[in-house]
Amino acid sequence: MAKIAVIDYDMGNLHSACKGLAQAGATPVVTESAQEIEAADAVVLPGVGAFDYAMEQVRAKDLEGPIRGAIASGKPFLGICVGLQMLFDRSEEGQQPGLGIIPGVVRRFASEPGVTIPHMGWNALDLAQPDCSLWNGMGDAPWMYFVHSYYVDPEDKSIRAATVTHGSQTITAAVQGQFLGSPRPNLMAVQFHPEKSSTAGLKALANFVEIVRTAVPC
SS3 of 45-101: the string is ECCCCCHHHHHHHHHHCCCHHHHHHHHHHCCCEEEECHHHHCCEEEECCCCCCCCCC
Decide if 218 is catalytic: no
Q: Which of 93, 195, 210, 218 is catalytic?
A: 195
Decide if 132 is catalytic: no
Q: Which of 119, 148, 166, 193 is catalytic?
A: 193
Decide if 193 is catalytic: yes
Q: Which helix or strand (DSSP H or E) is residue 121 part of?
A: strand 119-124
DSSP 3-state of 177: strand
Q: Which of 81, 93, 119, 132 is catalytic?
A: 81
Which residues have CB under 8 Å from 113's CB, separation 6+? Answer: none
Q: Which residues are catalytic?
A: 81, 193, 195
